[in-house]
Amino acid sequence: MRLLLIEDDPVLSRSLKTDLETAGYAVDTAMDGERGEFLGATEHYDAALLDLGLPKLSGLDVLRRWRAADNGVPVIVLTARDAWYEKVDGFKAGADDYLGKPFHTPELLARLQALLKRANRRHPIPLDLEGVMLDEERQSVTVDGGPAVALTAIEFRLLRYFMLHSGRLLSKSHLLERVYDDARDPDSNVIEVYVNRLRRIVGNDLIQTRRGQGYVFGRKA
């Protein structure tokens, strides 16, 4: 199980990460809202722990952006204990649960387990399109029932992004932003390279080029 922890208090972030790792979770951390929003939009997490008061982008805005993009990752909002209005705002923005600070780690773990149990009962988005089946656990893909092909981290993220946005026109710069870690790298040719690698795996006709505009995942209608 992989968790995203978005918390700008370095002491709390470190101690929570340690506690969660001890409890058997893999934990990615973000110290501001922008970075957290990016990670939540581009990586797959089983749940996110979201502080509301964050630099760059507030926790509520992070949550609103994810939900507007149909990202249903289960979210526990961390609020000040007596700020009941923050809880209301959090639920309105799409939070699944909340926890008032300061809290005891066993309560967080119990809420997390309950949330993950509920979330796993829902049907996950099946990443099975046009004969392409993406295995998110193994980061591999099978095409038309063939053997599983292992993907590199960027190939996986790019294919996952394509499949979650099939039929939509995606520009190179948009894709670069969503799947490439180093956003300072301005060279969108790197996307071309990865698209060509993916085409060799899933078939040429599945990722269409719109000249000067970008790419569309899916066969021509």
Q: Is 8 in the site for Ca ion (CB under 5 A)?
A: yes
State in angstroms the smallest separation of the CB of 99 from Ca ion: 13
Reported for 135-138, long-range contacts at CB under 8 A and 24+ positions apart, including other chains, are 136/44, 136/160
State in angstroms the smallest separation of the CB of 126 from Ca ion: 36
Q: φ, ψ for residue 129 (rounded to 5)?
A: -135, 135
Residue selected from 1, 53, 105, 142 as contacting Ca ion according to rule CB under 5 A = 53
Token representation of residue 16: 């929570």
State in angstroms the smallest separation of the CB of 98 from Ca ion: 14
State in angstroms the smallest separation of the CB of 53 from Ca ion: 4
Query: Residues 46, 1: contact at Cβ < 8 Å?
Result: yes
| 170 strand-pairing partners | 215
Measured distance CA(21)–CA(28) in Å, rounded? 10
Nearer to Ca ion, 9 or 19 (CB): 9
Q: Is 135 in the site for Ca ion (CB under 5 A)?
A: no
Residue selected from 37, 51, 96, 155 as contacting Ca ion according to rule CB under 5 A = 51
Query: Residues 76, 98: contact at Cβ < 8 Å?
Result: yes
Interface positions with Ca ion (CB under 5 A): 8, 51, 53
